[in-house]
Amino acid sequence: MQTLKDKVAVVTGSGRGIGCAIAKKLASHGARVIVNDLDAAFAQQTVDEIRAAGGVAEAFVGSVVEESFGQRLVDKAIDCFGGLDIIINNAGYTWDGVIQKMSDEQWQAMLDVHITAPFRVLRAAANFIREASRQENQAGQDIYRKVVNISSTSGIMGNAGQANYSAAKAGIAGLTRALAKEWARYKVNVNSVAFGLISTRLTDEPATAEGMTEIDGHMVKIGTGGDARTRMLAAIPMGRAGTVEEAAGAVYLFCLPESNYISGQTVICGGGRP
Total domain count for the chain? 1
Residue 225 lies in a domain: no
**pLDDT: is 221 or 260 the higher one?**
260
Residue 237 lies in a domain: no
* Nearest residue to 152 via CA among 198, 113, 95: 198
Q: What is the pLDDT of residues 49-90, one digit of tens each?
A: 999 999 999 999 999 999 999 999 999 999 999 999 999 999
Residue 213 lies in a domain: no
CATH number at residue 42: 3.40.50.720
- Which residues belong to the active site? 165
Residue 168 lies in a domain: yes
Residue 143 lies in a domain: yes
Domain residues for 185?
Answer: 8-203+244-269
What pLDDT score does 201 carry?
A: 79
Residue 141 lies in a domain: yes
25: pLDDT confidence band, cut at 50, 70 and 90?
very high
pLDDT exceeds 70 at position 96: yes
Residue 260 lies in a domain: yes
